[in-house]
Amino acid sequence: MTSSTYLDSKLLLAMPGMTDPRFDRSVIYMCSHDESGAMGLVINQPFDNLTFEGLLEQLDIETPEPVPPVMIHTGGPVEPGRGFVLHSADYVQESTLVVSETLALTATVDILTALAEGRGPIHHLLALGYAGWGAGQLEAEIQANAWLTAEADDEIIFNTDLEQKWPRTMAKLGVNVSMLSSDAGHA
């Protein structure tokens, strides 16, 4: 793939025939993609059984009361104990990866403290774990009709209900979900 075909800052949408149930109807924001592989965060799956307040307690982060509500997402099956915050680019620290003009990724405890204290980024999505692919793996999955790609949309990423992210992104592509097939066609 040439650099123009890499999927940095794009959305991946699981096709209806997705064989891995962990990614059924998932929407993934692609944080990085190059010849060595790809990394993204699932943005439409909640992380059950853990609250933001509980996470702060586990990490021994002391914060003022009350702790603001922050939803935790299941970012993917790789390193589920590792946290990432996808956020608006109004918050940048030394370790922040600026992914696009409007979005950045931070994976330090400092951003969790900032969120708890109400001084973090305006928009944020906290995820535990990530989706990762080795060299050529994502390209092969796209070729096998497992994923569609779409332009990232801050409104869908940050302000859309979880269960609506997949159908709304599909609709933005002009895809009628009921007409999708899990079979790949090759000429």
Residue 95 half-sphere exposure toward CB, CA atoms < 13 A: 9
Domain count of the chain? 1
Determine, yes or no, domain membership for 99: yes
Residue 4 above 70 pLDDT? no
CA pair distance 112, 120, nearest whole angstrom:
8
Structure confidence at residue 2 (pLDDT): 44
Determine, yes or no, domain membership for 100: yes
Structure confidence at residue 135 (pLDDT): 96
CA pair distance 71, 160, nearest whole angstrom:
13
Which pLDDT tens digit goes with each residue over 11-64?
999 998 888 999 999 999 999 999 999 999 999 999 988 999 999 999 999 887
Structure confidence at residue 181 (pLDDT): 55
**Dihedral of alpha carbons 54, 115, 161, 18, sign:** negative
Determine, yes or no, domain membership for 179: no
Query: Which residue, 36, 38, 46, is CA-closest to 10?
Result: 38
Determine, yes or no, domain membership for 187: no
Query: Which residue, 8, 19, 6, 2, is CA-closest to 141?
Result: 19
Are 48 and 72 in contact by the 8 Å Cβ rule? The answer is no
CA pair distance 39, 143, nearest whole angstrom:
18
140's CB contacts (< 8 A; 6+ apart) are: none
Full-prediction pTM beyond 0.85? yes
* Percent of all residues in the chain with a pLDDT value above 90, rounded to a whole number: 79
CA pair distance 179, 169, nearest whole angstrom:
15
CA distances from 21 to 2, 15, 17, 36, 84 (A): 30, 11, 10, 25, 22
Residue 182 above 80 pLDDT? no
CATH number of domain containing 25: 3.40.1740.10
Determine, yes or no, domain membership for 57: yes
Residue-number span of the structural domain to which 88 is assigned: 3-173
Structure confidence at residue 180 (pLDDT): 64
* Percent of all residues in the chain with a pLDDT value above 70, rounded to a whole number: 93
Determine, yes or no, domain membership for 178: no
φ, ψ at 77 (rounded to 5°): -80, -10
Determine, yes or no, domain membership for 183: no
Q: Which SS3 state, helix, strand or coil, does residue 28 take?
A: strand
Determine, yes or no, domain membership for 185: no
Element containing residue 128 per DSSP (H, E):
strand 124-134
Which pLDDT tens digit goes with each residue over 45-56?
999 889 999 999
